[in-house]
Structure 1
Amino acid sequence: MFASVAAHYLWWIVALVLIAIEVIMPGYFMLWIGIGAAATGLLALLMPGLPLLAQSIAFALLAFLSCAVYWYVLRPKLQRNEPGDERLNRRAEQLIGKRYVLIEAIVNGRGKAKVGDGQWLVSGPDLPNGSTVEVVAVDGTTLQVKQV
């Protein structure tokens, strides 16, 4: 089959098929393996007498190399780390460092503070109702506070 059709065309067809698979099922790896197949097609174009075994080995190496370039070079640059993402779904931890007013005095280490339009359990030193407190830590659904 390779004798009747130039080998580089077959490698480019393989590359297009792999890239089409990537479009249908995104995940990046088929794209990079397809790039390896396209590079193998370019190699076969530049070296027309290259045996099929050598082309296959070159494809495996180029596919591995292109995946490694993506994984170790491009992927870290493409990842977006927005400030606060590490606490996105942990609302209580987002309250650390903020100040609130007690709506129920802290007695024996327990009370309540107004947070937004709701109220949260707080623990800390005994303080009267109306005191301003700062959140210093979170223990489950209880905010640990200190007097401001």
Structure 2
Amino acid sequence: MLSRMIIELGPWSWWLLGLVLLAAELLVPGVFLVWIGIAALITGALSLVLWEVSLWTWQVQLVLFSVLAVASTLLGRRLLGTGHVVTDEPMLNQRTASLVGRTATLAEPITEGRGRIRLDDTHWSVQGPDLPAGTKVKVIAGNGRDLTVEKA
């Protein structure tokens, strides 16, 4: 059934595939299907011109489509890549990194290199030199969920 439809539609089958992929991009976020859809539309445009040429077999069309899909996806990623975006919130979604430089009071003493502080509304595990509870400390580094502190 599918092969019959492709034969009947001829070069328009690539156009149909391209339009379906572009429409699917509206439903599936991520800006990925658009590049494959563009590859199908380019293959369809070439098919309109080369359909009667004996060299233009379905195998050649499929290889060309595959190469164009990879090339357009790579080109699209390069053109629309996020790169280094300048922002007014550079520490957004980097919570431990945003705490570096802040001072707090130890809620629990640091013993054997481990303790806890309270910053804002959160208790944090800390690493640092052994210090008694109530000591003022400064956050000097953040690693995952742990903060490294020193005496302030």
TM range (shorter): 0.5 to 0.7
In the alignment, which residue of structure 1 is the partner of 2:103? 99
In the alignment, which residue of structure 2 is the partner of 1:78? 80
Counterpart of 2:52 in structure 1: which amino acid?
G
TM-score, normalised via structure 1 length? 0.60
TM-score, normalised via structure 2 length? 0.59
2: CA distance between counterparts of 1:78 and 1:116? 38
Q: 1:128 to 1:57 in 2, by over 3 A?
A: same
Counterpart of 1:113 in structure 2: which amino acid?
I
Per-residue CA distance 1:48-107 (angstroms, 9 max, x = gap): 42237535413432333233331x33225535467446xx3x744543332223355656
Counterpart of 2:120 in structure 1: which amino acid?
G
Counterpart of 1:50 in structure 2: which amino acid?
V
2: CA distance between counterparts of 1:84 and 1:114? 20
Larger Rg belongs to: 1
Structure 2: unaligned runs, 5 residues or longer = none
RMSD over aligned CA atoms reads 4.1
Q: What is the Cα deviation at residue 12 of structure 1? A: 1.6
Contact 2:91 2:97 in 1 (8 A): no
What is the identity percentage for the equivalent residue pairs of Structure 1 and Structure 2?
35
**Which is worse superposed, 128-137 or 31-40?**
128-137
Structure 1: unaligned runs, 5 residues or longer = none
In the alignment, which residue of structure 1 is the partner of 2:19? 16
Q: What is the Cα deviation at residue 39 of structure 1? A: 1.3
Aligned residues: 143
SS at match of 2:41: helix
Aligned 1:127-138 pairs, distance under 5 A? 127=131, 131-137=135-141
Aligned 1:1-148 pairs, distance under 5 A? 7-24=10-27, 30-51=33-54, 53-70=56-73, 72-80=74-82, 83-84=90-91, 88=93, 91-92=95-96, 94-103=98-107, 112-127=116-131, 131-137=135-141, 143-148=147-152
